Amino acid sequence: MTAVSVRRRVRDALIQVYERRLARELGDADVPRHVGVIMDGNRRWARSIGLEDVAHGHRRGADKIVDLLAWCDDAGVQVVTLFMLSTDNLRRPDSELQPLLRIIEDVAVDLSGPDRRWKVRQMGAAEVLPPETVAILKQAEEDTCDRPGATVNLAVGYGGRREIADAVRSLLTEHAARGTSLEELVEVLEVEHIADHLYTRGQPDPDLVIRTSGEQRMSGFLLWQTANAEFHFTDVYWPDFRRIDFLRALRDYSARHRRFGG
């Protein structure tokens, strides 16, 4: 056995010990009901190991999703929202966008397989996506709607500002159908009325948002819903995200005294 392999085995053993200790510490801690994840760093991960085709990074990142959902199940998280493709991403060259869409479709098929327990939901502006991608996402939603596990929102073709605009448009359309005048709507309009038309209607707002790769910005992710969320930023690229990184995010969340409104 080489010195490198010995060091690796020792490192892995120490990580396992640390993971178990973190898990014990979190035994009685508050658990976020809804966790949002900005899975960033796939392209940089691919380039960091010398790969020219960044699709390998997206594929490796996609392979990490089932692990994350299993960790969320273990922790008792009820809703997970995965930021997979923004409306801005749709402007990428076809040579990168098309493989990414195929990877997203494969994720939807995998998560909706007969051996899975999660409820899959498509979240975003379906009209900006290719019809075949929409069909696969909708089929995954239909196939899993009665499953007992956590809800998994796949944010594909998603933009936070667009979601708010869509919510207002839906609200206005609903009241127009009822015969409500604009003046009457202005008199009764409350924040909750808009929230009832968001993509996440009926779900708790995110308690915790995790972003990988070292970036410390939201990129338009769940702009409305994260008004009172806690944020955890890690330098780890998404394909390298480990259970220990997830547990650290939960520890960070549980250590904070949440204050709403200031």
228 labelled catalytic: no
Verify whether residue 153 is a known catalytic residue: no
**Catalytic residue, candidates 12, 28, 30, 40:** 40
Task: List the catalytic residue out of 30, 42, 73, 89.
Answer: 89
SS3 string, the chain, reads: CCHHHHHHHHHHHHHHHHHHHHHHHCCCCCCCCEEEEECCCHHHHHHHCCCCCCHHHHHHHHHCHHHHHHHHHHHCCCEEEEEEEECHHHHCCHHHHHHHHHHHHHHHHHHCCCCCCCEEEEECCHHHCCHHHHHHHHHHHHHHCCCCCCEEEEEEEECHHHHHHHHHHHHHHHHHHHCCCHHHHHHHCCHHHHHCCCCCCCCCCCCEEEECCCCCCCCCCCCCCCCCCEEEECCCCHHHCCHHHHHHHHHHHHHCCCCCCC
Distances (CA, A) of 54 to 44, 86, 177, 199: 8, 17, 47, 30
User: Annotated catalytic sites, by residue?
Assistant: 40, 89
